[in-house]
Amino acid sequence: MFKKILIANRGEIAIRIMRACKELGIRTVAVYSEADKNSLHAQFADEAILLGAAAPKESYLNIDKIIAAAKQTDADAIHPGYGFLSENASFATAVDSAKLAFIGPSADSIRAMGDKAESKISMKKAGVPTVPGFEEIESENDFKKAAKEIGYPVLVKAAAGGGGKGMRIVNAENEMKESLEAARHEALNAFGDDRLLIEKYLPNAHHIEFQVFGDKHGNLVHLFERECSVQRRHQKIIEETPSPLLSPELREQMGRAAVTAAKAVGYHNAGTVEFVFDPSLSTFYFLEMNTRLQVEHPVTEFVVGLDLVQWQIRVAAGEKFPFPQKDFSQRGHAIECRVYAEDPANGFLPSTGKLLQFIEPRGPNIRVDSGFAAGSEVTHFYDPLLAKLIVYGENREAAIQRMQAALREFVVHGVTTNIDFMQAVLSHPDFQNGEVTTRWVETKFNWKPTEPSFETLIAAALADQTIANRKTQNANSNEPDPYSPWKVASGFRN
C-alpha cells in the first residue's frame, strides 16, 4: 500500500480523497494556488505545497509543478480527483514516467475515451449502441449533408472534450454556419482542439450513466446507474440512483453495455459510461465515457455500500477487486444536490465573495462533501461548487423529503446560491414523477426567486453582527491594559 499520496486537485474532492487516505493510514499532500493559500484542503492535508499563481495553467494544470511537488514530498502516488488533469493522458503518462502511481485508468484508456469521435467509433466496433451521427467530417457542407441525413434537430459538439463546452443545438440549416463557428471557437479555447462531430439531437432524452469499476487483474463490474437529467447549461445539478425510469430488464441491458464499453478499452479503476435514454422508445445510446471519479459518486456509495475512493487507491496499488457482479444490488435511494455559488435568476452566473455564514445540515443519512467554511472566499478563478449535499432514504419519496429538509437547514450568506432553485425542482410534479429531461430546466421550468423571508434576513444580519463581534474580539485581545480580563490568566474565566 502507498505511504503518501499527493492529491492534484482542490476543494471538496481533495478533502474527500484525503479522508479516504487517512482511513487507510496514508499520509496526504495537498497542492494549492496563491488564491487557495487559506483553503480548507490545504489545511486538511498532512503537507501542502504552493504551486503558483491563481490561474489554473500556473497551478492545478501545470504538470511539471505537480510532479515536482510529488518528488519533493516523497509521495508514492498521485490522485487527480475530477476536472483539471484527471482525464489528461499526457499527465497520466508523466506520472508513470516519474515512477509514481497514477490513481486512475491507464493513459491508453484515457486517450481512447477522451476523444469523443474516436470513442464513438470504438463503441460501434464493440457493438455498443451509439447516437446516429458522423465523427469524421470537417467542412460546413459536409455537416449540412450529415444533418439532412440524420434529420434536424442535430447536435454539433467538440470531439476532444465534454462538460457542455463546444456544444450547440442546430434546429435548421440556416443555423449551421453560426453554430459551427461558435462551437469551434469554444472547443479551441477549452481543449486546444476545434474538431467537431455531429449527431442526432434527442430533445426528450434522459441522461443516465453507469458506474464501472475494475482492477488490473481483469475483474470489471458495473455498480448500477445514476439519473442525471436535471441540468443547466448541459451540466448536472441533481443526480439520483436508482433511476425512476429503468425496468430491471433495461437496467441489466444498459449495465452489460457499460461493461462491454469499458472492456473494449482495457479499463481499470473507477469510470462512468454515459448514455442518453429515450423512454418513449425504450432506446438508449452511448454518449461518452468519463475516465475518472465522478462528482456524483457518493449516491452510488450510499446504495451499494462501497467506498469508491478507497477502492481506487487499493486497486491502483495492485490489489484485486474481490466482488463479482452478483454481489451487488441497489438498496434504498440516494439523491445528490450540487450547491453552487451562482444566481439561477441571472443565467446561473457565478457569485463570488466571502462566505459570511456557512452552516451545513446534519442528521441521519445526510452527507455533505464541501471545501468551504464561514470566512472562505469564493473567487472567479475556479468552479463555483460550494458543496455536495447527499441524502439516503429507504425509497425515492423518503429521499426527496429528506433532501428538502436538509436543504432548508443549509445556510449560506455572502454569496448567492442555487439552494432555493433546487428546492423548487424537487417540489415540481415533473421531478416527483421522474419526467425531467436534459432540457427541462431551460424549456419547461418557469422559476422565479421568492423574496427572502424574515428569518433569512435575520440570519444574514446575525452573520454580519458575528463578523463585527469577531473584529471587536480581536481588537480587545490586543488591549494593552494588564488588568484587562483579556490579559488575566485566572479568575472569572476559569
Positions annotated as catalytic residues are 292
Strand partners, 196: 158
Q: What is the DSSP string of 257-300?
A: HHHHHHHHTT--EEEEEEEEEETTTTEEEEEEEE-S--TTHHHH
Q: Give CA–CA dist 451/472, Å, rounded.
A: 32
**Residues for the chain: how many in total?**
494
Which helix or strand (DSSP H or E) is residue 147 part of? helix 140-150
Q: Which residue has cell 470537417?
A: 138
Q: Are 304 and 224 in contact, with CB atoms under 8 Å apart?
A: yes
CA pair distance 490, 51, nearest whole angstrom: 45
Phi, psi of 477 (to 5 degrees): -65, -20
Q: Which residues pair with 269 in a beta bridge?
A: 214
Helix H or strand E encompassing 337: strand 333-340
Beta strand pairing call for 385-393 and 366-370: antiparallel
Report CA dihedral (231, 232, 233, 236) to the nearest 10 degrees: -40
What is the identity of the amino acid at 269?
N
Dist CA 233 CA 163 (whole Å): 9
From CA 225, how far away is CA 223, in angstroms rounded?
7
- CA-closest candidate to residue 303, choices 214, 369, 241, 221: 241
DSSP H or E stretch at residue 391:
strand 385-393
Name beta bridge partners: 411.
359
